[in-house]
Structure 1
């Protein structure tokens, strides 16, 4: 614009418009660069790494998760939250068995051992005094509060049903979250492809308008508008790539890949 103005082929206001747009873009880039450092520190802390360790991001999106929707149930089965319910059900089953054993008679048999020491001043003690004593023991325990143990066993059975219902509810919730997350993942990938196409076509339009402006010194506002639009597309692509990575992490959590 400055060259065209010096040659008398462009209005005086064109260089000022260009400077305004350049200053705006520079400011936005500077703010984004300043925001990068705290985000890198937060990311490194999550991974227990050094705060100053650089974070590198590939310019390409990961390969799409093909066929994940068809494997949804098997993938969600690995979720750690569901594993907690399985452990609770197993614990309730074990407690039910214990309650069943407690309500039955118990028979015990064993030996009681007692060491005896002969004292020198006890002259009237019978023979063999001072030898250790071994006594056989036998016991029978009959539970009195049988209803108490029956109630405990029934309580554990009901807890198994409760945990199974809670697990089913969580499976339904995880399935809904999985479907929505998988949709968001595909949508973000498609939006990234669209932004790539828009950036390509906008760049072609910028080249054409710049060529026309170089020849006739007209439509400089359109040049600025298209360049600004191209910059917006680039920013949207960065946001889309970030959203894709976050959605991918959420999908990994739902499928238990982060254990």
Structure 2
């Protein structure tokens, strides 16, 4: 890959990673999931109660006037930690969404860049072929003057030029559409001009592909993180099925009995309390355990399904990249032969025997080979982008 192209594409990718709203969306989701750790790091609300005796009950020490109570329930030991671990595991799984989105964005930006390159390269080829036909048109006009060609030959050459100009104009519009697509990926104004390299060369050799890296792909790691979150969910479920302990205090205000004198007259009542909440009917927790087991099985199946899909994509990208290299070699060979045929036609003109039908045929073949060559180069780099997404 050319150095200039690498630097330009790398710059575009950096801009996309910093500006793309989808990446920002996943980053915010991750921060929100992480913040939930603080939400679950709490205990149940403390209960306070105040009661006033409308009809004051009489006791030996006096009449009870009002009652104040406070109660605090506490979850079983380790329950809060289990909640924190569960929420943290969900945040870890959400983080993989960021990694996946960044990889996909890098691939999308790269593919859009190569589409722009191919478009620009095709426009350049068409410009060169139009100029070549203009040269042949000049030769044809000269031949018409000396009676060695007809005006029909000149018209055919002109019509062929018009067709190629039309193709170039269409490509120009397609370039603007693809440029808009790339600018949207970068989250910037649609009309900002994107510059691409003038030429891309077919690399002399392919970079090494380590298929074992596929097992570490974030799309697969996410399933591992989800599996771990279910494990934490089950640990939390076990903790929540344990009893809850409550501590409380009741205070009752007692009025003094009039016209009586003894040591406890009007003594207030203070009563500490301990309570236990036991989930006797625990069918809910047994059901949650079963659900967790089924969800883990589902995640395992989903991971295997995704691994099979990624392996298929990798194999297809490798084979198509090989095909692009083979096609490039064939088009290069054909293009050389087409240029040799073109030289023969030029020499034929010097002897006065040029056939302008052959000129159009050779020019059409030459344009076809040049276009196919560009497509082969683009295809090679696009497939390399897919491979990079899968194994790097």
Shared fold (TM-score, shorter chain, > 0.5): yes
Q: Aligned runs of 1:54-73 on 2, under 5 Å?
A: 54-58=193-197, 59-61=199-201, 63=203, 65-68=206-209, 71-73=210-212
Distance 1:61-1:143 versus aligned 2 partners, 3 A rule: farther
Q: Which residue, out of 227, 240, 255, partners 1:89?
A: 227
Structure 1 pair 61/156, CA: closer, same or farther in 2 (3 Å)? farther
Shift of 1:189: 3.0
Residues 117 and 222 of structure 1: CA distance in aligned 2, closer, same or farther (over 3 Å)? farther
The equivalent residue for 2:355 is 219
Q: In structure 1, list runs of 5 or more residues that go unmatched.
A: none
Contact 1:97 1:153 in 2 (8 A): no
Match of residue 169 from structure 1: 305
Alignment of 1:41 with 2:177, yes or no, is no
Structure 1 residue 91: Cα displacement = 2.1
- Judged with a 3 Å threshold, the aligned counterparts in structure 2 of structure 1 residues 107 and 41 are, in CA distance, closer, same or farther, namely closer
Deviation at 1:123, TM superposition (A): 6.9
Q: Which residue does the alignment assign to 1:228?
A: 364
Q: CA deviation at 1:76?
A: 4.9
Q: Alignment partner for residue 108 of structure 1, among 245, 263, 278?
A: 245
| Contact in 2 for aligned 1:188/1:243 (Cα 8 Å) | yes
Which residue is equivalent to 2:78?
none
Give the SS at the match of 2:196. Answer: coil
Matched pairs, number: 244
Contact 1:96–1:156 (CA under 8 A) maintained in structure 2: yes
Residue of 114, 134, 142 corresponding to 2:278? 142
1:56 partner SS:
coil
Q: TM (normalized to structure 2)? A: 0.54
1:78 is matched with 217
Aligned match of 1:126: 266
**Deviation of residue 179 (structure 1)?**
0.5
User: Among residues 288, 291, 299, which one is paired with 1:155 in the alignment?
Assistant: 291
Contact 2:335 2:366 in 1 (8 A): yes
* CA distance, structure 2, for counterparts of residue 245 and residue 93 of structure 1: 42
Normalized against structure 1, the TM-score is what? 0.78
Q: Residues 117 and 189 of structure 1: is their aligned pair in 2 closer, same or farther, counting only changes over 3 Å? A: farther
**Structure 1 position 60, deviation (Å):** 0.8
Match in the other structure for 2:324: 188
Shift of 1:160: 0.9
Q: Give the superposition deviation at 1:212.
A: 1.3
| Cα deviations by residue, 1:172-201 (Å, 9 ceiling, x for unpaired) | 111112111221122123322332332232
Superposed CA deviations along residues 21-58 of structure 1, whole A, max 9, x for unmatched, are 22222222222223221221122112213212222333
Contact 2:202 2:377 in 1 (8 A): no
Question: Does structure 1 retain, via aligned residues, the 8 Å contact 2:249–2:273?
Answer: no
Counterpart CA distance in 1 for 2:253 and 2:193 is 77
Q: Partners in 1 of 2:215 and 2:193 — Cα distance? A: 33
Q: Which residue of 1 aligns with 2:169?
A: 30
> Once superposed, what is the RMSD of the aligned Cα atoms?
3.1
Helix, strand or coil: the match of 1:216? coil
Contact 1:99–1:153, Cα closer than 8 Å, also in 2: yes
CA gap 1:76/1:237 in 2 versus in 1, 3 angstroms: farther
What is residue 89 of structure 2 aligned with on the other side?
none
